[in-house]
């Protein structure tokens, strides 16, 4: 999780510590009880009265870490967990806490949902929801595959042309937003502008797949896009569908940026509570 230098010392606080203490509480204990600098780069350990729970405070130069361990028969238990996000553009958001990334998470949450589900190409989203669910995919994820190819080969003209065509697709939607078109007007605009563009784009991607090595970044990008093509063009059928799920990814960004500072939730039971709080905060932010 983090590396320790040779000069790093490990301090164990004497006595019992209230395991409800977070950053500020543990910071104060290090400063007052141990008479140490919490930002020194040393490791500070705290235990409860039963000696079956530990908390660790550590500063790695970029932020404070607080890690929690529950001891069971002499062994610590630490589980990786995930937050899945479900929401509507301009509407509410729900974060769902799960201990895994398998299909069971979205399958249980969505139940017999029969609306629009827009995602990346992750296989866990297959065979979920009700029989009439509409599964669409995200053009931003597809575009990202070609950007990765360009990072490896900046002069790849094929990848450059495909990225340029996808950018045109987003530009058409941006033009519709600038004109304040409602969904029905935007749908008509897309049929006039986006559909012909897609009809030109698909043969270019098919040619790229035929010419590129299957294991190359461009070959993988083309294969990814073509495999999801029916789901990528589904926005032409549904006026209220967006080109990407960037809004959902933007909602996850604060979690990604902050997880080095709050990488642990403390317990499995705390996960759904944190998810509920995040759901309220993000829903309020979206609704202004």
Domain boundaries, the chain: 10-77, 82-119+247-287, 139-244
Nearest C-alpha neighbor of 268 from the set 127, 125, 70:
70
pLDDT in tens, the chain (288 residues): 555 666 778 888 888 888 888 878 888 888 888 888 888 888 888 888 877 788 888 887 777 788 887 765 544 456 678 889 998 888 889 999 998 889 999 999 999 999 999 999 988 899 899 999 999 999 999 999 999 999 999 999 999 999 999 999 999 999 999 999 999 999 999 999 999 999 999 999 999 999 999 999 999 999 999 999 999 999 999 999 999 998 888 777 777 666 555 555 556 777 888 889 889 988 888 877
- In this prediction, residue 9 carries a pLDDT of 83
- In this prediction, residue 247 carries a pLDDT of 85
Q: What residues have CB less than 8 Å from 228, skipping those under 6 apart?
A: 121, 137, 142
Measured distance CA(91)–CA(201) in Å, rounded: 32
Phi, psi (rounded to 5 degrees) for 135? -100, 120
Long-range pairs for 279-286 at CB < 8 Å and ≥24 separation?
279/92, 279/93, 279/94, 279/95, 282/87, 282/93, 282/95, 282/251, 283/87, 283/91, 283/92, 283/93, 286/87, 286/90, 286/91, 286/92, 286/93, 286/251
Phi, psi (rounded to 5 degrees) for 70? -105, 125
From residue 144, give the alpha-carbon distance in Å to each of 16, 87, 163, 202.
50, 22, 9, 17
Measured distance CA(177)–CA(118) in Å, rounded: 20
Measured distance CA(266)–CA(270) in Å, rounded: 7
- In this prediction, residue 39 carries a pLDDT of 86
Q: Do residues 44 and 13 make contact, with C-beta atoms less than 8 angstroms apart?
A: yes
Dihedral (Cα; 232, 236, 241, 245), 10-degree rounding: 20
Mean pLDDT of the chain: 87
Q: Do residues 58 and 43 make contact, with C-beta atoms less than 8 angstroms apart?
A: yes
- Single pTM value for the model: 0.70
From its phi and psi, is residue 83 left (phi > 0), alpha (psi between -120 and 50) or beta? beta
- In this prediction, residue 74 carries a pLDDT of 45
Q: DSSP of 247-267, one letter per residue? A: HHHHHHHHHHHHTTTS---SS
């Amino acid at each position: 999780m983090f590396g320790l230098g040779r000069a790093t010392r490990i301090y164990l606080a004497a006595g019992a510590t209230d395991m409800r203490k977070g950053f500020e509480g543990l910071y104060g204990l290090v400063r007052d009880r141990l008479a140490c600098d919490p930002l020194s780069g040393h490791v500070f350990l705290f235990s409860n009265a039963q000696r079956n729970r530990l908390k660790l405070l550590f500063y790695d130069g970029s932020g404070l870490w607080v890690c929690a361990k529950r001891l069971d028969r002499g062994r610590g238990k630490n589980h990786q967990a995930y937050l899945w996000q479900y929401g509507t553009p301009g509407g509410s958001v729900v974060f769902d806490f799960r201990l895994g990334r398998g299909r069971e998470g979205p399958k249980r949450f969505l139940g017999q949902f029969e609306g629009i589900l827009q995602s990346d190409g992750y296989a866990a989203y297959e065979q979920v929801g009700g029989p009439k669910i509409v599964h669409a995919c995200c053009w931003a994820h597809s575009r990202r595959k070609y950007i990765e190819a360009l990072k490896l080969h900046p002069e790849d003209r094929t990848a450059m042309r495909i990225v340029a065509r996808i950018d045109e697709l987003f530009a058409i939607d941006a033009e519709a937003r600038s004109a304040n078109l409602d969904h029905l007007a935007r749908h008509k605009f897309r049929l006039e502008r986006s559909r012909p563009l897609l009809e030109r784009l698909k043969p270019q991607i098919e040619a790229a797949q035929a010419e590129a090595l299957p294991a190359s970044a461009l070959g993988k990008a083309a294969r990814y896009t073509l495999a999801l093509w029916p789901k990528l063009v589904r926005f032409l059928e549904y006026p209220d569908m967006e080109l990407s799920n960037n809004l959902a990814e933007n909602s996850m960004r604060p979690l990604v940026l902050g997880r080095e500072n709050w990488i642990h939730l403390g317990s499995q039971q705390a996960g759904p509570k944190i998810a509920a709080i995040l759901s309220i905060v993000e829903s309020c932010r979206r609704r202004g």
